[in-house]
Structure 1
């Protein structure tokens, strides 16, 4: 049986406890027998893969490969994932470049089956990177089995930090945020946006997000999330709004007082 993360309380209380115990909990999770079996199998067998079809035919390899990108739910979509891998990331008409969810593009690019010079999966650095990503995301999933809002908060901090240091304009970084379903979920809940918001013109959505982000953190740029201060402001607000939306443990007076602080 895998190590189950310990979540104490809910909302900000649970988040602060998780942050204090993160190193200990993640090490215990990674060392659990179930995780070690997955990681060892991947490391030992990925070197035998020659084609995208070889990879997609091995369910145990695919569980780790997809899990490293948060694409666990695609484990049964063998034909789709084979096509994503085979077409790669370099051609403008490649399937991964047409998909709004940019996790597929990262998946295709990192494996490189359809790209010039690829594939890359036999490099030692590649294997270690996949193992690290898989462990991180599976820990988030395990946390989410107890509190989904904490899973999304962990994912948001990780993804925002990654996007903030990537090249490109801040508009490009914002579009990366909007192209990630988990991140978009966090942003929409943080700013209490209705479900119909996604139907607006993309430029209008970006304008609204920028305006509300500036009110929250004093900065409308995604590049600010390289720093912990901006990360914490966003997470605090998200967890507060998540608790309000689910009415978990906050009275009307507590809600009003908490909101006045942000």
Structure 2
């Protein structure tokens, strides 16, 4: 039986429980048979991949690769993923430089399959350990997300925002990356109580509004502040508590509707 990560009833209290038990639970989870089999298969066989078609044609390898970068939903989009892998990152007009979600760029960079196939007898160097480690991390988060998506999203943000804070880019570029990332934008939209209609606004307006609200909440709109764990925890606390309040309100409305229907019956 697969190990289910314990986060109580989710929400902010579940998040605090996970903080105290993260290392021990992740260690147990990483030793589960399914995770070990997938990880070992990837490490042993990724060196045989010489072209993008080799990777997308092997379901076991592709599933590990996509999960490592949080792209599980693309497992059946093989043509698209092949084009992502084959796109030349040095060509400004290529697909990889047009996609707002930078996870595809990271996938492209990790496998380096945009060039011609390597000569026979040689292989493209892939950091199989780093990718398989990320597979375990994302699988751990996915296990939680099947029951409490808000904690999976928070774990992703904890990692990705720290990384983004340390990248040498302009603040505007960093904000565009956040808006282009579905998991990250959910954190900011949730923390500020923004409705689903917010995503329909022009991109520049979304960036401007998120920066303004972040400055009011955090005292600064700079993404670099999230290299400070205390600042990041403050943002995630707002997201988790607002998310839980919204879920409670939704359940309350659902219960009221059931009561009305029962009375009518």
User: What TM-score do you get using the length of structure 2 for normalisation?
Assistant: 0.88
User: Partner of 1:247: helix, strand, or coil?
Assistant: helix
Who is 2:54 aligned against? 54
Residues 219 and 50 of structure 1: is their aligned pair in 2 closer, same or farther, counting only changes over 3 Å? same
Q: Distance in 2 between matches of 1:52 and 1:156?
A: 29
Deviation at 1:127, TM superposition (A): 0.8
List aligned pairs for 1:193-232, cutoff 5 A: 193-232=194-233
Who is 1:72 aligned against? 72
Query: Across the two proteins, how many residue pairs are aligned to each other?
Result: 249
Residues 20 and 123 of structure 1: is their aligned pair in 2 closer, same or farther, counting only changes over 3 Å? same
List aligned pairs for 1:157-172, cutoff 5 A: 157-172=158-173
Q: Distance in 1 between matches of 2:228 and 2:115?
A: 34
Who is 1:104 aligned against? 104
Q: Distance in 2 between matches of 1:192 and 1:117?
A: 49
Q: Let me know the Cα RMSD of the aligned residues.
A: 2.2
Q: Distance in 2 between matches of 1:97 and 1:20?
A: 40
Deviation at 1:113, TM superposition (A): 0.9
Residues 24 and 245 of structure 1: is their aligned pair in 2 closer, same or farther, counting only changes over 3 Å? same
Shift >4 Å, 4+ stretches: 115-118, 248-251
Q: Distance in 1 between matches of 2:133 and 2:249?
A: 33
Who is 1:123 aligned against? 125
1:185 aligns with 2:202: no
Q: In 2, are the aligned partners of 1:70 and 1:103 still within 8 Å (CA)?
A: yes
Q: In 1, are the aligned partners of 2:50 and 2:117 still within 8 Å (CA)?
A: no
Q: In 2, are the aligned partners of 1:62 and 1:75 still within 8 Å (CA)?
A: yes
Q: Distance in 1 between matches of 2:232 and 2:249?
A: 23
Who is 1:258 aligned against? none
Unaligned runs of 5+ in 2: 253-265
Q: Distance in 1 between matches of 2:2 and 2:142?
A: 12
Residues 195 and 8 of structure 1: is their aligned pair in 2 closer, same or farther, counting only changes over 3 Å? same
Who is 2:35 aligned against? 35
Unaligned runs of 5+ in 1: 252-262
Q: Distance in 1 between matches of 2:99 and 2:153?
A: 22
Deviation at 1:196, TM superposition (A): 1.7
User: What TM-score do you get using the length of structure 1 for normalisation?
Assistant: 0.89
Q: Distance in 1 between matches of 2:239 and 2:215?
A: 15
Q: Distance in 1 between matches of 2:219 and 2:129?
A: 38
Q: Distance in 2 between matches of 1:106 and 1:49?
A: 18
Who is 2:150 aligned against? 149
Q: Distance in 1 between matches of 2:38 and 2:78?
A: 19
User: Partner of 1:5: helix, strand, or coil?
Assistant: coil
